[in-house]
Chains A and B, each alone.
Chain A
Amino acid sequence: MSEKSIISPENLVYEKTGVMTDKVLHYCPGCGHGTAHRILAEAIDELGIQGDTIGVAPVGCSVLAYYYFDVDMQEAAHGRAPAVATGIKRVMPEKYVFTYQGDGDLAAIGTAETIHACNRGENILVVFINNGIYGMTGGQMAPTTLPGMKSSTSPFGRDVSTMGNPLKITELVAQLPGTYFVTRQSVHVPANVRKAKRAIKKALEYQKLNRGTCFVEIVSNCPYGWKMTPVESNKWMEENMFPFYPLGDIKVPEK
C-alpha cells in the first residue's frame, strides 16, 4: 500500500477536535496548557455536550481560554471563577459548567472562592493547572512553588522558614464533604494525557449526578518560568514536582 493512500478520511484516527477553535494558542512552546485545553475540548466533544457546556476563564496565562474553546465562555475576575461558575450553575442547573484555573488564580487570590465553592458542594468541574509558578507575570513564586525552588522572587530558592510552605490545595479540598471526585493528573507523556482525559470525562459525567464538586488538578510545566527547554522542564517535573504532588485519584466516589 503506498503512503498516499493512507492519508484518506476513512483512515483518520486523530485530528484536532472541533470544540477547539482554529485560533493559534498564545502559550509558549511546550506549555502544558495547550494539551490540557485540548483534552478538555476532546472530552466535551466525545460526550456530545458542546451546546450545553459553559466554561469560566481565569486570570493568568490561560486568561484567553475563551478564544480557544468553541463553547459558551465567561471571563471571571482574578480568582473568582468558582463563584461565577456557582452563579451560572444555579441559574442553569441543566448545563455543564467548568472553570479552568491556574495555581496563581485558584490557590492564591482565589483560595476563599475555591474552598467555599468546594465546601458548598457546587455541582461544577474545576480544572486546576499547577505549574508551581506565576507564569504570565514573569515567573514569581506562587503558593504552590516547591521548597528550594528558584523563581524570580525567590532567586536563592524558596525558604520555607520565611516564605511559608507550599499549599497542596487538592489534598485540602479532598477533605471537604462537598467534593465528589478529586484527582491529580499530568499531561507530559501520552499515557498520562490519556489518563487525564479519562479523569476529565468522568468528572463531566458525574455532573449529571448532582453529587458535588469535581476537582481535577493537572501538574504542568512552565518552560519559560523555570528557564528550561520544554523537554528539560518535563524531566524536571517528573523528578521534582511528582514526589511532592503525587499523581493519582485522591477522592473517588463511593460505590
Chain B
Amino acid sequence: MARKGDIVINIERCKGCEVCLSACPHEVLALSKEVNSKGYHYVVKVNSECTGCANCAIVCPDAVITVYREKATSGQ
C-alpha cells in the first residue's frame, strides 16, 4: 500500500496558476470557489488520496505547499 501523505497550503501566497493541478498524480488538488485577500482563487485539497510525493510543491512557483509523508513502517 502506498504511504499516506498530507499537504498544508498557504492560501494567502497562492496565485491560482493551476500548475500544481496537472502535476498531482492523484487529482488531490482543485481551485477553490472563494478567493484570498489578493483576489486569487487558491488551491485546495479535495480528497484524501495524497501520498506525499511532493510533486505539487516542487512545481509551485510561489512555494505555497508544505508536504508531509508518514514514515514507512517495517514490513512495507
- Is B30 part of the binding interface, using a Cβ–Cβ cutoff of 8 Å? no
- Within the complex, which residue of A30, A32, A188, A190 is in contact with B18, where a contact is CB–CB below 8 Å? A30
> In the assembled complex, which residues on chain A have CB atoms less than 8 Å from the CB atom of B18?
30, 229-231
- Within the complex, which residue of B17, B59, B66 is in contact with A12, where a contact is CB–CB below 8 Å? B66
Q: How far is the CB of A124 from chain B (nearest CB, A)?
A: 25
User: Which of A13-21, A54-62, A85-93, A199-207 lies at the binding interface?
Assistant: A13-21
Given known contacts A24-B13, A189-B23, A11 and B69 CB-to-CB distance under 8 angstroms: yes
On whether the beta carbons of A234 and B19 are closer than 8 Å, the reply is yes
* Measured CA separation A38–B54 after assembly (Å): 14
> In the assembled complex, which residues on chain B have CB atoms less than 8 Å from the CB atom of A17?
63
- Within the complex, which residue of B4, B40, B57 is in contact with A6, where a contact is CB–CB below 8 Å? B4
On whether the beta carbons of A14 and B66 are closer than 8 Å, the reply is yes
On whether the beta carbons of A8 and B17 are closer than 8 Å, the reply is no
- Within the complex, which residue of B4, B13, B15, B57 is in contact with A14, where a contact is CB–CB below 8 Å? B57
Q: How large is the interface on A (under 10, 10 to 19, 20 to 34, 35 or more residues)?
A: 35 or more
Q: How far is the CB of B37 from chain A (nearest CB, A)?
A: 11
* Measured CA separation A14–B19 after assembly (Å): 17
- Within the complex, which residue of A13, A24, A194 is in contact with B67, where a contact is CB–CB below 8 Å? A13
On whether the beta carbons of B67 and A190 are closer than 8 Å, the reply is no
* Measured CA separation A90–B64 after assembly (Å): 37
> In the assembled complex, which residues on chain A have CB atoms less than 8 Å from the CB atom of B59?
35, 187-190, 193
Residue among A10, A28, A230 having the largest count of chain B Cβ atoms under 10 Å: A230
Contacts of A219-255 to chain B: CB distance below 8 A: 223, 229-231, 234
Contacts of B1-42 to chain A: CB distance below 8 A: 4-6, 8, 13, 15-19, 21-23, 40
On whether the beta carbons of B61 and A6 are closer than 8 Å, the reply is no
On whether the beta carbons of B58 and A7 are closer than 8 Å, the reply is no
On whether the beta carbons of B4 and A1 are closer than 8 Å, the reply is yes
- Within the complex, which residue of A10, A16, A188 is in contact with B19, where a contact is CB–CB below 8 Å? A188
On whether the beta carbons of A10 and B71 are closer than 8 Å, the reply is yes
| Chain B residue at minimum C-beta to C-beta distance from A11 | B68
On whether the beta carbons of A16 and B66 are closer than 8 Å, the reply is yes
Interface string of B50-74 (1 = CB under 8 A from A): 0010110111111101111111000
Known: A6-B52, A35-B61. 8 other contacts (CB 8 A): A11-B70, A24-B62, A34-B60, A188-B19, A188-B59, A230-B17, A230-B18, A231-B18
Task: List the interface of chain A (C-beta within 8 A of B).
Answer: 1, 3, 5-8, 10-17, 20, 24-25, 27-35, 38, 187-190, 193-194, 223, 229-231, 234
Selected A-B contacts with CB under 8 Å, 13 pairs: A6-B68, A7-B68, A12-B68, A15-B66, A24-B62, A25-B62, A38-B61, A190-B55, A193-B58, A193-B59, A229-B18, A231-B21, A231-B22
